[in-house]
């Protein structure tokens, strides 16, 4: 029996069951995987300990960056996957997870009508004056299922720096969300039981499969 197969059988005995939602699609669950979860215990970084975890999985895992994982009724975003090899063959992987602390829906403006004159609609989307009259209509939710994401006022990439936690607090909130959702600037992410957020910018290059968005509260209805 190979090392990878042996480790997979051990995980099935002592690990926790994982439900994988490829690309965040919670209507298409994949079961049958098990993992060993390790919480990052950094006494000087309580936020990091709360939101970042590592799970070790078998050599033949289907998990990829941007997938949503459900572990013991909690949802997480898979950020990166690192292989451990023996004689050139991976026998296990470690997957870095960010906690998905919100779920919501994604809306997009379907039409915007502007009277001649005045600034473009994206400058003052809620302004009404003699020179600018806007009528806006929204699409229905772009997906028929909940979209899980991490909403935070912290830059998680900087949490391993020596700066105190207060020094890395961002003025704008960030939304970490699977790339597969196709989120775009000016979209609205509506948190279930919470606020609406305007997507100001989208960075698709930090992580494979995950977009990092700068967001702000959105008053558009």
Highest CATH level, class, for 3-100: mainly beta
- Specify whether the backbone of 159 is left (phi greater than 0), alpha (psi in -120 to 50) or beta: alpha
- Where in the sequence of the chain do the CATH 2.40.10 domains occur? 3-100, 103-217
CATH number given to 103-217? 2.40.10
Beta-sheet pairing, 196-207 with 74-86: unpaired
Q: Name the token pair of 148.
A: 């899980």
Per-residue pLDDT, 134? 60
Q: What is the tens place of the pLDDT at every residue in 164-218?
A: 554 444 457 899 999 999 999 999 999 999 899 999 999 999 899 999 999 999 9
Q: What is the pTM of this model?
A: 0.80
* Closest to 153 (Cα-Cα) out of 136, 137, 141, 165: 165
pLDDT at 110: 79
Q: Report the C-alpha gap between 179 and 6 in whole angstroms.
A: 34
Which phi and psi (to 5°) does residue 199 adopt? -80, 110
Residue 60 to residue 65: CA distance in whole angstroms: 15
Largest CA distance in the chain: 78
Q: What is the mean pLDDT of residues 105-126?
A: 63
What digits encode the pLDDT tens for the residues 10-63?
999 999 999 999 999 999 999 999 999 987 665 566 667 778 899 999 999 999
Alpha carbon distance 198, 86 (integer Å): 47
């Amino acid at each position: 029996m190979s090392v990878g197969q042996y480790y997979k059988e051990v995980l099935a005995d002592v690990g926790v069951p994982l439900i994988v939602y490829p690309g965040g699609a919670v209507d298409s669950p994949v079961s049958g995987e098990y993992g060993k979860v390790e919480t990052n215990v950094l006494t000087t970084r309580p936020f990091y300990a709360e939101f970042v975890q590592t799970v070790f999985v078998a050599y033949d895992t289907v998990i990829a960056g941007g997938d949503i994982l459900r572990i013991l009724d909690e949802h997480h975003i898979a950020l990166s996957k690192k292989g451990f090899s023996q004689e050139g063959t991976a026998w296990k992987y470690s997957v870095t997870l960010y906690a998905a602390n919100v779920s919501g829906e994604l809306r997009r403006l379907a039409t915007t009508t502007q009277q001649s004159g005045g600034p473009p609609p994206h400058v003052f989307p809620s302004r009404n004056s003699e020179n600018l009259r806007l009528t806006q209509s929204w699409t229905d939710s772009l997906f028929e299922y909940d979209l899980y994401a991490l909403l935070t006022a912290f830059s998680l990439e900087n949490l391993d720096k020596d700066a105190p936690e207060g020094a890395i607090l961002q003025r704008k909130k960030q939304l970490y969300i699977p790339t597969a959702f196709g989120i775009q600037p000016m979209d609205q992410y509506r948190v279930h039981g919470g606020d609406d957020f305007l997507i100001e910018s989208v960075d698709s290059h930090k992580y494979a499969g995950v977009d990092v968005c700068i967001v702000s509260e959105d008053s558009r209805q």
